[in-house]
Structure 1
Amino acid sequence: MTTPERTEPSTTAGERDMLEGWLEYHRETLEMKCAGLGDEQLRQLSVPPSEISLLGLVRHMAEVERSWFRKILAGESVEWIYSSEDKDGDFHVSEQDTYAEAHATWQAEIVRARELAAAHGLDDVAQSKHPRTGEVFNLRWIMTHMIEEYARHNGHADLIRERIDGATGE
């Protein structure tokens, strides 16, 4: 497996390009944190009592991409990928779960998210409201939230990766 490249966001871009650049940067960061590890390593939990693993983070971000772009922004009626019966099913990985499957699923959700975002302006209000709070969101908020979500979980990924093999970095 080759190490994925990460594109540095522009320092002078306009708002839309800046948001897209930082979101892509964080997507690529999570992929970098998983690069070069086998499934067994990717399933290793961080520290008790946490159930977070790198594989779980990839699965979680597939669910998050699906939720915010497909379910909320576009109003698509799609099922959860890993969390239909177990609300934390994305984090509950088993010996049968593989990075190849999770990565392909995550990448497919990213492709769909990009398509949906490209079809909307930053001020466009999402088709669906938040299922628990009833709040409405525009694309700008969704993209900013996605950057925050990735940034937080990339911090987790940093620590997990360091625990697995000592690799550190941005």
Structure 2
Amino acid sequence: MPATSRRNRRRDTPPPRTGNSEAEVLRGFLDYLRVSMAAKVEDAPEPQVRTAGVPSGTNLLGLLNHLTFVERATFLGENVTDWPATFQATPDDRVADVVARYRETVERANTVLDGCIDLGAPVPRPRSGRPAPSVRWALTHMIEETGRHAGHADILRELIDGATGR
């Protein structure tokens, strides 16, 4: 296990100060977690970024790849047929590619959310066969999903090179 040096310690960023409305709080916390997650992955070294850190096979690049698919399914209506496969990036994917795809997906999701005034209304996304969840549910789910995987990423990144903090 690598020793944590001062240069590997990031300053911990406190939770965001948001507006007072429910939408501002939910979106503020989701964006905070999204930025933290991308930062954990974007400068991680190869090949460790894709090397399993635990027996389940979980790795940093796979976590960010998975969150890209969850964002697309939740806010953009994309159909995912093999969720376990989303936890692995392709061998040709570079770290920069996966981070860029995630950030682009987040931008597209935020464009959808910018048009959502009523948190109780369904997410306006094309999807046949299943009703869309409410915007409130989708935001809450993404906070939970992103926060959970950001915690995994914290541990994996520290195991890789001792980097800590958000």
Counting helix residues as a fraction of each chain, which structure ranks higher? 2
Report the RMSD for the aligned CA atoms in angstroms: 2.8
Deviations 1:119-163, CA, capped at 9 Å, x for gaps: 11212123569989x565210110011000011001100110111
The 3 A distance-change label for structure 1 pair 87 and 21 is closer
Is the 2:44–2:157 Cα contact (8 Å) retained in structure 1? no
The 3 A distance-change label for structure 1 pair 62 and 107 is same
**Map of 1:65 onto structure 2:** 71
**Map of 2:161 onto structure 1:** 165
SS in 2 for 1:10: coil
Amino acid at match of 1:167: A
The 3 A distance-change label for structure 1 pair 130 and 46 is farther
Is the 1:56–1:93 Cα contact (8 Å) retained in structure 2? yes
TM-score by length of 1: 0.78
**Map of 2:3 onto structure 1:** none
> Is 1:18 the equivalent of 2:29?
no
**Map of 1:155 onto structure 2:** 151
Is the 2:65–2:87 Cα contact (8 Å) retained in structure 1? yes
Is the 1:6–1:28 Cα contact (8 Å) retained in structure 2? no
Mapped partners of 1:131, 1:87: distance in 2: 19
Deviations 1:30-78, CA, capped at 9 Å, x for gaps: 1221243223121121211x1211100111111011000010xxxxxx4
The 3 A distance-change label for structure 1 pair 41 and 16 is same
Structure 1, unaligned stretches of length 5 or more? 72-77
Q: Taking CA–CA contacts closer than 8 Å with sequence separation of 6 or more, which of the two structures ends up with the larger relative contact order? A: 2
**Map of 1:116 onto structure 2:** 112
Amino acid at match of 1:63: F
> Is 1:9 the equivalent of 2:16?
yes
- Counterpart of 2:141 (choices 134, 140, 145) is 145
TM-score by length of 2: 0.80
> Is 1:27 the equivalent of 2:23?
no
Offset at residue 6 of structure 1 (A): 5.9
**Map of 1:126 onto structure 2:** 123
Mapped partners of 1:156, 1:143: distance in 2: 20
